[in-house]
């Protein structure tokens, strides 16, 4: 066999002429440009190949591949030549030779076609890699998160010739109570059980480019193929047979659109927490090489979502810092006035109570004095609200049944007044939480319920429905995403209305102090939702809001308490609070407060003395021991209540004491309680509260 040569020429004739220049026998291929691949034997050692123009750029590799095939072609021709020498020249033999010859030619032609297909696949893969590399650079130049995700889906459709591509991000549900069809499914494998983890459609390109699909704009976590990819129930999902794969929900739909393949990938944060899903459908088979490229796209998408989450967390931290600064400013203001204001209110609340005890029921003065008393109590509530917003619900915690606390508010005069002012608004309840015990400040929980229901009723206007409900929900460790909830069992308090919803521009401000759309002083102080927010967080809970044109839903999470609920004893009467002449020392730097406390205790049958400072209290008690000390925490100048109590304990280690203050429970108050003081009561206090505190200390 001679040399193997491949020659490219404009025509077969020119190529043959070139071959004639070789002195030895040549085994060769003549390659010419053609519209499509063609293969023609010109002789026992010479072949003509027609090559498309698009392949000429890789002429060297093409020629080498074809030369490698010559051994196969030459072997076939040698076989035919030998058969020609040995067989007769009958018509039957000639036909057999021709048929055998043609078969070998076809086999060689098929190998040429296979080579062409393989080369085309390689060129396509190169184009895909180049496109995806440029995609990464393009994403760096896009600032908007949603534009980046849309750019990714568009690139996937374009690069992989997909029918459509979509991206879902995991966020708390926002349509659960406002028309989401999945929320209505409560049983079966596709029941929505994870409202805090919902797949939100955030980008879509190709056949479907909208984000408002009724069924696919929100997908329940763990349900259907997308939700199961997100939850990990389907670890990897790539199929080239969507019309028969049982994991594809609607085979008829896939057949109707001519879809062939599907690929879906779970998106992860750097901590390995699922953050979303990217998926595509195609009318073409997805090759193993394309699967690898798509995994790279999924990794890039995960990084973008993670960067967006980091930015959101940064903004949230900045917002929390701003909120903390606002709270600090309000706290300074409240701290500057609350003590003095509550001392003033103590007289407005306390003296009318004393007067009402002395006036006959027929007195014309009772109505005016009762109005003064009621006004004082209302002013006290406003100061309490201000202190709650500024410093949290710093009160003694008790294990209470939240269902009972809600019912107590619904049965209260305040709720009855609200309902009478809005007769066409229906209030319903669904208190279904079975584990409903929480550790709480009952006063603040009731105030939270009151504020939420009041807000809902006033948002409705003339007609509508407000629903208050409770349920139990367990938060697992893998569920912790944006909600910042610790794993464990929670009681869920839900207040929902079917009003017009909260405007998007207002939604981010509703928990800020003094931010209100109501008429200030007429229907609100601007502190209602700020109190709700502070109370919930002070109870180690969390609050989420969903709002649309179909209404607003507040969802409050409170940790379940394992301590048995305390059943209140409301059987005490004024007579039962009456003392038996026990000696009580009142210590307060305000004259009218010493006088008021002395009179209230005197009415209840106690022997009372009073002094205006801690130093005088020490001198008094050295000479005259007492049964109980009722002592103000802040006294100026001189020792405060905690310091005074420490000195008294050096004289009488078992001395019983009650601490009072115009502030909420401070560090000094807690210090005094740790030293052994029996009770803390906040000013202004009523006769009943003071009497109960004294009884508790004496009996303790």
Give the domain CATH number at 160.
3.30.450.40
CA distances from 129 to 135, 163, 510, 598 (A): 10, 20, 48, 88
Q: Are 29 and 49 contacting, i.e. CB atoms less than 8 angstroms apart?
A: yes
Q: Which domain holds residue 100?
A: 3-124
Same domain, 555 and 406: yes
Question: Does 150 lie in the same domain as 108?
Answer: no
Cα angle, residue 323 at apex, residues 317 and 325 outer, rounded to 5° = 105
Residues 591 and 552 in one domain: no
pLDDT value of position 587: 93
Quick check: is 362 in a domain? no
- CA–CA gap between residue 168 and residue 230 (Å, rounded): 9
Rounded to two decimals, the pTM is 0.57
pLDDT on residue 176: 65
Residue ending a domain, choose from 269, 286, 303: 286
pLDDT at residue 188 in the model: 61
Domain containing 531 — which CATH number? 3.30.565.10
Asked if the structure places residue 388 within a domain, the reply is no
Residues 405, 517 share a domain? yes
| Domain's final residue, options 241, 271, 286 | 286
Q: Do 157 and 104 share a structural domain?
A: no
Question: Is 553 domain-assigned?
Answer: yes
User: Within this chain, do residues 584 and 527 fall inside the same structural domain, yes or no?
Assistant: no
At 84 the pLDDT is: 45
State how many domains the chain has: 4
- Is 211 found in the same domain as 170? yes
Residue 617 sits in a domain whose CATH number is 3.40.50.2300
Q: Are 112 and 198 part of one and the same domain?
A: no
Q: Where are the beta strands (DSSP E) in 569-653?
A: 583-587, 607-611, 628-632
Tell me the C-alpha distance between 549 and 579, whole Å.
60
Does 309 reside within a domain? no
Tell me: do 239 and 263 sit in the same domain.
Answer: yes
Separation of alpha carbons 275 and 269, rounded Å: 6
The token pair that represents 109 in the structure block: 């032609």
Residue found under tokens 């500024």: 390
**Eight-class DSSP state of 481:** S
In a domain, residue 353? The reply is no
Q: Which of 251, 271, 286 is the last residue of a domain?
A: 286
158 in the same domain as 77: no
Q: Are residues 21 and 105 in the same domain?
A: yes
Residue 348 CA to residue 362 CA, distance in Å, equals 22
Model pLDDT, residue 478: 47
In a domain, residue 201? The reply is: yes
654 within some domain? yes
For the four alpha carbons of 412, 418, 420 and 426, in that order, the dihedral sign comes to: negative
Is the peptide bond prior to 4 cis by the omega test (within 30 degrees of 0)? no
Q: Is residue 119 located within the same domain as residue 169?
A: no
Residue 340 within any structural domain of the chain: no
Q: Which of 640, 633, 636, 645 is nearest to 680 (CA)?
A: 633
Helix (H, G, I), strand (E, B) or coil at 322: helix
Q: Which positions of the chain have pLDDT values less than 70?
A: 1-105, 108-109, 111-143, 174-179, 181-195, 213-215, 327, 330-332, 334-336, 339, 389-396, 477-484, 515-526, 564-575, 664-665
């Amino acid at each position: 066999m001679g040399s193997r040569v491949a020659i490219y020429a404009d025509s077969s004739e020119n190529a043959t002429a070139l071959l004639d220049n070789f002195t030895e026998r040549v085994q060769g291929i003549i390659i010419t440009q053609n519209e499509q691949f063609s293969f023609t034997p010109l002789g026992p050692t010479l072949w003509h190949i027609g090559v498309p123009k698009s392949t000429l750029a890789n002429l060297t590799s093409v020629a080498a591949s074809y030369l490698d095939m010559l051994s196969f072609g030459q072997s076939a021709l040698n076989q035919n030549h030998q058969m020609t020498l040995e067989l007769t020249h009958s018509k039957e033999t000639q036909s057999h030779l021709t048929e055998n010859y043609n078969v070998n030619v076809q086999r060689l032609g098929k190998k040429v076609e296979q080579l062409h297909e393989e080369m085309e696949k390689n060129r396509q893969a190169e184009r895909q890699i180049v496109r995806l590399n440029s995609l990464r650079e393009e994403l760096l130049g896009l600032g908007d998160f949603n534009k980046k995700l849309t750019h990714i889906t568009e690139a996937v459709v374009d690069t992989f010739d997909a029918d459509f591509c979509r991206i879902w991000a995991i966020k708390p549900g926002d349509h659960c109570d406002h028309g989401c069809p999945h929320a209505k499914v409560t049983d079966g494998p596709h029941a929505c059980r994870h409202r805090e983890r919902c797949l939100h459609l955030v980008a879509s390109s190709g056949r479907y480019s909208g984000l408002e699909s009724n069924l696919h704009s929100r997908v329940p976590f763990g349900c259907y193929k997308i939700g199961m990819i997100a939850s990990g129930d389907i670890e990897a999902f790539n199929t080239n047979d969507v019309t028969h794969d049982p994991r594809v929900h609607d085979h008829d739909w896939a057949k109707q659109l001519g879809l062939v393949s599907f690929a879906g990938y779970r998106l992860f944060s750097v901590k390995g927490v699922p953050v979303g899903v990217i998926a595509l459908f195609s009318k073409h088979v997805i090759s193993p090489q394309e699967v690898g490229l798509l995994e790279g796209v999924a990794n890039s998408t995960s990084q973008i979502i993670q960067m967006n989450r980091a930015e959101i967390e940064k903004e949230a931290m900045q917002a929390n810092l701003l909120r903390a600064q606002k709270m600090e400013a309000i706290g300074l203001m409240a701290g500057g006035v609350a003590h003095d204001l509550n001392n003033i209110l103590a007289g407005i609340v306390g003296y009318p109570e004393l007067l009402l005890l002395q006036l006959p029921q027929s007195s014309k003065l009772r109505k005016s004095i009762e109005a003064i008393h009621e006004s004082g109590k209302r002013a006290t509530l406003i100061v309490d609200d201000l202190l709650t917003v500024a410093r949290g619900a710093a009160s003694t915690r008790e294990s209470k049944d939240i269902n009972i606390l809600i019912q107590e508010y619904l049965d209260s005069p305040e709720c009855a007044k609200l309902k009478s002012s809005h007769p066409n608004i229906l209030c319903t309840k669904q208190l279904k939480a079975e584990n409903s015990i929480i550790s709480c400040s009952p006063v603040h929980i009731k105030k939270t319920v009151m504020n939420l229901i009041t807000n809902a009723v006033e948002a409705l206007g003339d007609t509508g429905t407000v629903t208050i409900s409770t349920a139990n929900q367990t938060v697992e460790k893998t569920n912790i995403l944006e909600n910042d909830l610790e794993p464990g069992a929670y009681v869920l308090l839900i207040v929902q209305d079917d009003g017009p919803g909260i405007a998007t521009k207002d939604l981010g401000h509703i928990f800020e102090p003094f931010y209100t759309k109501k008429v200030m002083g007429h229907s609100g102080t601007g502190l209602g939702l700020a109190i709700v927010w502070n109370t919930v967080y002070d109870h180690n809970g969390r609050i989420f809001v969903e709002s649309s044109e179909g209404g607003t839903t507040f969802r409050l999470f409170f940790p379940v308490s394992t301590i048995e609920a305390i059943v209140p004893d409301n059987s005490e009467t004024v007579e039962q609070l009456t003392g038996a002449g026990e000696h009580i020392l009142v210590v307060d730097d305000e004259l009218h407060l010493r006088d008021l406390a002395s009179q209230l205790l005197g009415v209840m049958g106690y022997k009372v003395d009073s002094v205006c400072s801690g130093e005088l209290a020490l001198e008094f008690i050295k000479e005259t021991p007492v049964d109980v000390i009722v002592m103000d925490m802040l006294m100026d100048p001189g020792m405060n209540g905690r310091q005074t109590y420490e000195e008294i304990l050096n004289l009488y280690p078992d001395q019983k004491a009650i601490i009072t203050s115009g502030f909420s429970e401070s560090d000094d108050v807690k210090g005094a309680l740790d030293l052994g003081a029996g009770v803390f009561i906040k000013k202004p206090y009523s006769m009943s509260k003071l009497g109960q505190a004294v009884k508790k200390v004496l009996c303790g």
